[in-house]
Structure 1
Amino acid sequence: MILYRLLLTLIFPLLVLQALRKGGLGERLGGGAASPPGLWVHGASVGELTSARGLITALAADEPIVVTCNTATARAMVQGWAIPGVQARFAPFDLRWCLARFRRRHQPRALILIESELWPNRMLAMAGHLAMVGARISEGSAAGWARRAPGLIRQMLSGVTCLSAQDQASAARFTALGLPPDRLAPSLMLKTAVSLQTRPLPFEPPGPRDTCLLAASTHPGDEALILAAWPTAQTAGFETLILAPRHPERGDAIAQLAPMARRSKGDVATKGVYLADTLGEMDYWYRMAGTTIIGGSFTDRGGHTPYEPAAYGSAILHGPDTANFSEVFAALDSANAALATTAENLGPTLAQLTSARQAALRQAAQSLLAETADLGPLLDRLRRALP
């Protein structure tokens, strides 16, 4: 722990320079506007906090919440939700004096960590008032902690009063690293608890839903691959392709790949390629698309959530890399509730997606995933576990 704190102190000037460049230095130093005492919820970025929106909304009905994150896009997204009692801040640096300043300003009674944020000082500062939800740890990360800092990770996990893992494998790894087994709550993949949006669509869909194809949360390399398969998809009846990048700031680069209209320019989707390079509007595109291609599953990034497209009734197609949701995609594939393919076979696979096939896939996915979407037991456990 002494070595960790020394290294963090040494790189502190670099952290300050980075924050000066990206913004939010005051909040990262533990400052900024104060918020009412209540809960502290932390998620790294957009994906983690999107998955936790339903949980945050439910908890905010009981008390104020300050949500912290590491990126400006995530902070803006949480602010845009406008959930009563919820305020968004940049997370303080994992330095003891920054954390102490943050705690004086916000007076959180407990901290809930979303997914895989394991910061030693933060966890030790909130020991005994700490929960982890949707927690996950890979085999490699667990081995690294066990090899390099077994005592530190055991100390960090000893202060966790409640941990709900994404899957049984993560639960087993956390207990092997030192989490007391009685602190385990039922496993829950937070992304199952999707808060469905019913706000009006921004424009009239360009055609019937089954003629619209969405590529959701794409990464570099995904767009070129999908655009190469697009002509084949068109022969099967698709008329509109929506590209929704994981990071909308990549919009200019993506727009160079093919002629396309752009949401960020105020364009309305018509038949052809449409670039949804904005933040906080994924519900629009899921609701328009009969089929969703899971971004990051063709380019070695582990894939993104199948829960949101399934919840909005969009059929699921994914590539071979689904490491981030391996158990879920395995269950979907086994139940014929999703289509798995490779980069080379993307076009022919899209050609199979008739209206009837899309309907069968979406119905099977909704039936399968609805069984794991109840937040009630987790909320009850958190309320008992957090003083």
Structure 2
Amino acid sequence: MFTYRLALTLAAPLAAGYFALRLARGRETLADLGERLGRGASGGAASGPVIWLHGASNGELTSARDLIETLLREAPECRMVVTSNSLTGRDMVRGWGLARLEARLAPLDYRPCLAAFLDNDRPSLLILLEGDLWPNRMAMAAKRGIPVAMISARISERSAAKWHRRPGMVRHLFEPVRLFSAQDAASESKFRELGLPPERIVAPVTLKASVRLPAPDPDLLTQYREVFPREDTWLAASTHEGEEEQVLVAFELARRARPSLRMILAPRHPARSAEVRALLEGAGLRFRTRSAGDAPDKESDVYLADTLGEMPLWYALSGQCFVGGSLVAKGGHTPYEPAQFGSAILHGPDLRNFAEPYAALDAAGGALKVADGPALGEALARLDPPALDALAERATDALAGGAGEGMDSLVEKTLRLAGVDRRN
């Protein structure tokens, strides 16, 4: 821990410069910075326990919405503080409008920032989603006697190897953990090898498998379907830097065989909209932009869906969906959402974030794996309505029950850690 804290101290001027630059460029406000320093406004004095739940960004927090709502429903005396590393994650949770829940940016992993946050809210429990582990946060939870629940935890081979080289720090990380539920068996095995006490481990639960996105606005869906026939529309979902170029190559190739094909392009981070627009202009494609208030039209090739919270609409319009983060080294994004809307799934080779569900999909013939942009274009060119229907049906079967069992038990054990007797 000494080495880690020394490194943080030495990095403090760089961190200060980074956030000063974000302030100067208008990417964050003084209020945002205050939250990162642990001084965000409190929801007020709570008569009951306060649960602090942290997820890195949108994906983790979206997957946990059902868990969050269940905890609030089962423990009406509790208040929750949900933190995220990203502005988009925080703002998304605020947009849910849930009573007794406050969303903020997570405090930086400096002890003064954490102390300010903990003094302000005095949480009875810290819930960590997936694998966002910060040494000072865990050490201060242990020092203050705050139990930690790691839920839907996952870890990559690379991260596991890194932690293996730091056994002393790993002991600090695991000291406050009282409840651990992995996302998959492989992650559970890695955490066991790192020294997580087996008596703290409960059955794996994949939160993202239980996510059910809301239905899109029916009037908007009807209006947009006049422009986007489902069998001739494909969605490039949650794409990253270096991936849109490959998607555009695929689109050009696929349209040689399917000239009526249309594309909805939904970047993972809407803040990259200008960059993606430049790529579309460079490719000579006609496009409309959602964030600019443009409605789609039949003369355009691409609809740039650069907004948050509208993925159900794009999935519902698209008979085929390429899942982003898989043609670049991002680990891939969820297959459960396109499967929910009956969209045929295509993906690249990097699937480490969802290795088990994609293995099930591939074994059942419920998805198409491609190596690069040209291969994606060739796959799209071959898809016809019967093939789309078959892929979607097999995906639904392969992913059925993917959330696993034990959620009810997990909620009960989590609330018990927070000092709450579950209501019947």
1:142 to 150, 154, 160: 160
* 1:108 and 2:123 are equivalent in the alignment: yes
Counterpart pick for 2:183 among 161, 166, 173: 166
Instruction: Choose from 410, 417, 424 the match for 1:378.
Output: 410
Aligned length: 386
d(CA) in 1 for partners of 2:416 and 2:3?
Answer: 36
Give the SS at the match of 2:124: strand
Task: Show the counterpart of 2:264.
Answer: 242
SS of residue in 1 equivalent to 2:202? coil
Residue 124 of structure 1: aligned partner:
139
Structure 1 equivalent of residue 106 of structure 2: 91
Q: 2:390 aligns with which of 345, 351, 360?
A: 360
Tell me by how many angstroms 1:244 deviates.
0.3
The answer for unaligned runs of 5 or more in structure 1 is: none
Matched, 1:198 2:215: yes
For residue 45 of structure 1, what is the aligned residue in structure 2? Answer: 57
SS at match of 1:261: strand
- Between stretches 284-293 and 57-66, larger displacement belongs to 57-66
Partner of 2:294: 267
Per-residue deviation at 1:220? 2.0
Which residue of structure 2 lines up, in the alignment, with residue 351 of structure 1?
381
Note the C-alpha offset of 1:367.
Answer: 2.2
Cα distance between partner residues in 1 of 2:7 and 2:355: 35
> Residue 57 of structure 1 aligns to which amino acid in structure 2?
E
Aligned to 1:319: 348
Residues 1:170 and 1:265: Cα distance change in structure 2 (over 3 Å):
same
Q: 1:66 aligns with which of 61, 77, 81?
A: 81
Structure 2: any 5+ residue segments left out of the alignment? 23-27, 420-424
Deviation at 1:335, TM superposition (A): 0.6
Cα RMSD for the two superposed structures = 1.9
Q: Give the drift of 1:95.
A: 1.9
Which of 242, 247, 268 is the aligned partner of 1:221? 242
**Post-superposition shift, 1:196?**
2.0
Asked if residue 300 in structure 1 is aligned to residue 332 in structure 2, the reply is no
Are 1:131 and 1:386, in contact at CA under 8 Å, matched by a contact in 2? no
Match of 2:37 among 14, 29, 34: 29
- SS of aligned partner of 1:54: helix
Q: Is the Cα contact below 8 Å between 1:209 and 1:289 reproduced in 2?
A: yes
CA distance in 2, matches of 1:151, 1:268: 56
Identity %: 47
- 8 Å CA contact 1:219, 1:296 repeated in 2: yes
User: Is 1:194–1:311's contact at 8 Å kept on the other side of the alignment?
Assistant: no
Q: Do 1:94 and 1:122's aligned partners in 2 also have CA atoms closer than 8 Å? A: yes
The letter for the 2-side match of 1:145 is W
Q: Residue 337 in 1 paired to residue 366 in 2?
A: yes
- Of 2-11 and 163-172, deviating more is 2-11
Q: Is the 8 A contact 1:158 1:180 kept in 2?
A: no
How far did 1:237 drift?
6.8
Q: Deviations over 1:191-215 (max 9, x none)?
A: 1111321241545222332221000
* Aligned match of 1:287: 316
The 2-side partners of 1:158 and 1:237 are apart by 59
CA distance in 2, matches of 1:207, 1:266: 17
Residues of 1 paired with 2:179 and 2:329: CA distance? 32
TM-score of the superposition, structure 2-length normalised? Answer: 0.86
> 1:126 aligns to what SS in structure 2?
helix
Deviation digits for residues 285-319 of structure 1 (CA, Å, limit 9, x no counterpart): 11211111011211232211111111222111011
Q: CA deviation digits over 1:113-143, x for unaligned, max 9?
A: 1111111121122235101112111122122
Q: Is the 8 A contact 2:138 2:172 kept in 1?
A: no
Q: What are the within-5 Å matches in structure 2 for residues 170-185 of structure 1?
A: 170-185=187-202
TM-score (norm 1): 0.94
Partner amino acid for 1:190?
L
| Aligned-residue offset at 1:97 | 2.2
Give the Cα–Cα distance (whole angstroms) in 2 for the partners of residues 223 and 4 of structure 1: 37
Q: Which residue of 1 aligns with 2:14?
A: 14
Per-residue deviation, 1:93 = 1.4
Contact 1:134–1:165 (CA under 8 A) maintained in structure 2: yes
1:211 alignment partner in structure 2: 232
